[in-house]
Structure 1
């Protein structure tokens, strides 16, 4: 058994223990692809998986707008009110952190295991909600930047 397979099995077990369906399902899918010799799909997933994930995330977020559950008036209020302005600032900061997290994961892909373990700890002990490794990597990149400032 290769180390990648062992890691996927370990992530599957961690996902099951943490009741994180996404980690468990992703580990299973990658194991199935590996064992069924469909691992030629891995490079495509590696280069386009993030875009596909963001596509489905945006689709789910925009459904209430498309189905008129949120009106144009509500949208206008929500970008001009104080919470709306803070949401805009938060969105800008989050996307910047995500960008830094993506750079960190490209430089050090092995960091993903620590990000997942940290997410599981947050789920179990802090009743956290997993938002994905990209945001976790962004926060880790911010911490690393702060450490570099002091060194």
Structure 2
């Protein structure tokens, strides 16, 4: 019973409560899975593997979801060509490129500066709870933080 009152478990239970309060199923499921892993004393190597590879797994699942309309024929080459006939299409292309670059930089930045990871995760959880955001934020936020820190470094 003592394991329920560790700092990490209380932290997770706080996030579970916030997820329930915000009615955010993604957060609820994620926290519940982590709590179950902890309760069943899942090997530390498994936790480390999930931590190190989880973002890539998530990106793969998102990519699969994005490709489904192509596979089902809902989106074809005509749609691709038509998308470049509008400003929104070009802005979408540039935004996609920018976010991808920021996410790449963000993953690297989180690896070299663990301190920022805590703030990013907490900020993402707050955004999920308070603004009904989506938890894809930490990687992009880390990329933005990386770019901003590069700017700060220029003035040192």
Whether TM exceeds 0.5 here: the answer is: yes
> What CA deviation, in whole Å up to 9, does each residue of 1:69-128 have, x standing for no partner?
112201222246433222222222111111121122112334333223323443555x45
Structure 2 vs 1, CA of residues 122 and 150 (structure 1 numbering), >3 Å: closer, same or farther? farther
Structure 2 vs 1, CA of residues 123 and 23 (structure 1 numbering), >3 Å: closer, same or farther? closer
1:76 aligns with 2:81: yes
Structure-2 separation of matches of 1:11 and 1:106: 23
The alignment's C-alpha RMSD in Å is: 2.4
1:16 aligns with 2:20: yes
TM-score where L is the length of structure 1? 0.81
Determine the structure 1 residue equivalent to 2:63: 58
Query: Relative CO higher for 1 or 2, CA cutoff 8 Å, sep ≥ 6?
Result: 2
Structure 2 vs 1, CA of residues 13 and 109 (structure 1 numbering), >3 Å: closer, same or farther? farther
Please list every run of 5 or more consecutive structure 1 residues that lacks an aligned counterpart in the other structure: none
Determine the structure 2 residue equivalent to 1:105: 110
TM-score where L is the length of structure 2? 0.79
Please list every run of 5 or more consecutive structure 2 residues that lacks an aligned counterpart in the other structure: none
> What CA deviation, in whole Å up to 9, does each residue of 1:37-61 have, x standing for no partner?
2234212212321221111101111
